[in-house]
Structure 1
Amino acid sequence: MSQECMAPRAPLPPVGRNFAVAVGDEILYGDAPELVVVSFYRFADFPDHAAFRLPLKELCEELRVSGGIILAPEGINGSICGTPVAVDKILNFIQEDGRLKGLRMIQSPVTPEDEAIHHGHTSHSPVGAGEDAPFRWDHVRVKLKKEIVTFGDPGVMPTKIVGKYVKPKDWNDLISDPDTVIIDVRNMYEIRIGKFKKAVDPRTNSFREFPTWVDDQFQLVQSGTLGSGGDDNGTGEPSADLNASKSKQLPRVAMYCTGGIRCEKASSFLLGKGFKEVYHLEGGILKYLEEIPKAESLWEGECFVFDKRVSVGHGLAQGTHKLCYGCKQPVSDEDMLSPHWEYGVSCPHCFATKSEEEKERARARQRQFETFGVIGGPHMGKSPRGSAANNAVEFIQLPKSV
């Protein structure tokens, strides 16, 4: 695995963002420094990962860095928000351990809502997005898990073997080759709002299902059957035939995911299954959208992200999708016109799967948040920790009990 270190970040220019926060009958004003969001991961042999949790969490709290970090025997995965200086200190601290040196990182713009949540003030529901992404910006979480990205096969070791990285600038040529099978290793709900042209959708609900999908396809290929060709893959186009060009031969595969971590693990799995040519997009979709101009892009739609932004487009601009807090899936403006859409409760994608009891619990949770500003009542809240910032003033109503 190649070693990559983040180049020193130039200081961001002052953005002049400020907040007016209503506490009871008083309005409090304040300023806050500019912020940055950095997502990062590193596969490594890290059996003593648990000992790293407390010092890392304490440093994040001391530097007022928020977000989420996962530690596991196979490495580290995280997304954090803070001032550039503070974030750099955290990343440098992590990489002081030689096993974690060369973090793969993506820096993203900070939206006003990200900034508001980081500083403890938000008008949106605080429910996090994604089972493996505790990346809510109102505090830091450092979790211990078995894997930094859940795959379910302990025999897959990206530290030992991994596919070939492809730079965003070279990606279009690779996936435009008719002999290349493009596989999106993300989940169905992510692919629903955006994908690369002609990409195969494995129709998985979680990354854990990907090995089973590959095994099924591998058996079809070995028997000389036409993979999943001819079936609708959920994108409105026939699924790609994994053995269209060379009978009983495994094809050249190009894989991609949001930031690179899932396809790095999936590439290791495919190589272990006998695939010879396995490529994956370095930095994932996010790096591609950041570097490739829209006019040259083969990306269609928006990219779902596991944080408060929900989705991003070219240039990592804020997307148009919102989050259904009932199922934690992205919803479009069209979805929100459906009679099955109820804010904080359900959307067209989960309405039929929820009982009336579950919906009523969700309504009660939403009423708590709207009344107290936090789920569980005023005793669960945190006192304001300063404010965040733009020339326009954002007004946020907090209850009198705060």
Structure 2
Amino acid sequence: MVSTPGPFSVAALYHFTPLEGLEGLKTKLAAFCCARKIKGTLLLAHEGINGTVAGEESAIDALLVHLRDLIPALAAMDVKRSTAREEPFKRMKVRLKREIVSMGVEGIDPNRLVGTYVEPQDWNALIANPQTLVIDTRNGYEVALGTFQNAVDPETESFRDFPAWAGEHRAAMEGRPVAMFCTGGIRCEKASAYLRQIGVEDVYHLKGGILRYLEEVPAEQSLWQGECFVFDERVGIGHGLVEGEASLCHACGRPLTAEDRRSAHYREGISCAACIDEYSDADRLRFAERQKQALLAASR
């Protein structure tokens, strides 16, 4: 009888802090993770660290200790822990970047100027205030899977689109509380720093992001609707950080709910209702062959 591995431990982490010696850090972290069969992605930049990794619980525990030993400033690093039934990543990548979350605006430093951090337990009261402008700083395909009640969707395709959207809607932010959120807290933290830099004063953001909210706020008290999109094989997670029912359309990469999969336009690996008009017949034939090969590989 072949034993089945237990659940994988997943850690989503980030911290804004000045980093130097990035090449050396990259080499050390890649070797450490590969030696312990940890997979996922870590991004390093002069502004800090960001990433999500998965492996055996003891390996992830060891990595977090190792990170804080290598970089003492990471003692205050924000880490969200969850589990996955199957390995959520295929390989380990440690990459050097200009930014750990790409906004494309120079001089944004959350350690210097940032909005007010809001604990998950206090979030409901803030966003229930009818005067509060609640902004989802994630991309459109993430918002489609789930979001908070009454949140504004900027309909961005990339976080780099946020500054332009904020400039166009700045008048709506004047004289009222602005509350922002994202998956793990990094995008809304940087977005709040950007709004403060352009002169918006009453800015708040959800500490630890949606993940911390779903972990700490009971479902019966929640103002969250749907699942939270995550960038790994789990696709979506719900309250208690349990895996949800969402899957991916392997034609366009969008997340799909159970209702989406009941659409007449949904064909596994080939199309969904959102992308049915986006590809040619030749593309569909290619997708169908790819799906066939994927099924054959899975059966083997």
Give your verdict on TM over 0.5: yes
Give the unaligned 5+ runs of structure 1.
Answer: 1-19, 21-28, 119-135, 222-241, 244-248, 374-396
Partner deviation per Cα, 1:110-156 (whole Å, 9 max, x = no partner): 22xx2xxx3xxxxxxxxxxxxxxxxx523212222222112121232
Matched to 1:309, the amino acid is R
Which of the pair has more CA radius of gyration?
1
How big is the shift at 1:342? Answer: 2.1
Counterparts of 1:337 and 1:174, CA distance in 2: 36
Contact 1:37 1:81 in 2 (8 A): yes
Return the letter of the residue paired with 1:304: F
Matched, 1:49 2:49: no
Select which of 208, 212, 223 maps to 1:287: 212
The number of residues matched between the two structures is 299
Contact 2:39 2:90 in 1 (8 A): yes
Matches of 1:369 and 1:320 in 2, distance apart?
21
Counterpart position of 2:54 = 81
* Residues in 1 aligned to 2:175 and 2:286: alpha-carbon distance in whole angstroms: 49
On the 8 A contact 2:84/2:243 being kept in 1, the answer is no
Unaligned runs of 5+ in 2: none
Counterpart code for 1:217: H
TM superposition score normalised by structure 1:
0.70
Mapped contact 1:47–1:74 kept (Cα < 8 A): no
Aligned to 1:322: 247
Helix, strand or coil for the counterpart of 2:37?
coil
Distance between the aligned counterparts of 1:137 and 1:332, measured in 2? 21
Question: Secondary structure at the residue paired with 1:39?
Answer: strand
SS at match of 1:30: coil
Q: Contact (CA 8 Å) 1:106, 1:286: kept in 2 or not?
A: yes
Match of 2:143 in 1: 191
Displacement of 1:72 in angstroms is 2.0
Contact 1:183 1:253 in 2 (8 A): yes
- CA gap 1:48/1:174 in 2 versus in 1, 3 angstroms: same
Name the aligned partner's letter for residue 271 of structure 1. Answer: R
What is the one-letter code of the residue matched to 2:3?
A: G
Between the aligned partners of 2:251 and 2:244, the Cα distance in structure 1 is: 20
Rate the CA distance shift 1:143–1:342 in 2: closer, same or farther, 3 A.
farther
Q: TM-score, normalised by structure 2?
A: 0.93
Q: Distance in 1 between matches of 2:5 and 2:257?
A: 32
Mapped to 2, the partners of 1:365 and 1:298 lie a distance apart of 40
Cα distance change on mapping 1:287 and 1:366 into 2, 3 Å: same
Of residues 71, 77, 95, the one that matches 2:44 is 71
Question: 3-state SS of the aligned residue for 1:55?
Answer: helix
Task: Give the equivalent residue in structure 1 for 2:176.
Answer: 251
- RMSD of the TM alignment (CA)? 1.9
CA distance change for structure 1 residues 213 and 34 in 2, over 3 Å: closer, same or farther?
A: closer
Cα distance, 1:347–1:258 mapped onto 2, change above 3 Å = same
Which runs of structure 2 are paired with 1:312-391 in the superposition (5 Å)? 312-373=237-298
Query: Kindly, what percent of the aligned residue pairs are identical?
Result: 41
Paired residues of 2:17 and 2:47 also in contact (CA < 8 A): yes
Confirm or deny that 1:106 pairs with 2:80.
Answer: yes
Equivalent residues of 1:182, 1:200 under 8 A apart: yes
Which residue does 1:14 correspond to in 2? none
In structure 2, do the counterparts of structure 1 residues 62 and 172 end up closer, same or farther at CA, with 3 Å as the change threshold?
same
Match of residue 167 from structure 2:
215
Distance 1:364 1:50, change over 3 A: farther
Q: Could you give the per-residue CA deviations for residues 2-56 of structure 1, whole angstroms, max 9, x where no partner exists?
A: xxxxxxxxxxxxxxxxxx6xxxxxxxx1354553111111112224323211211
Partner Cα distance (2:6, 2:227) in 1 = 29
Residue 151 of structure 1, aligned match among 100, 103, 119: 103
Instruction: Write out per-residue CA displacement over residues 73-126 of structure 1, whole angstroms, 9 at most, x where no aligned residue.
Output: 221111111222211111111122124332111011222xx2xxx3xxxxxxxx
Distance 1:31 1:200, change over 3 A: closer
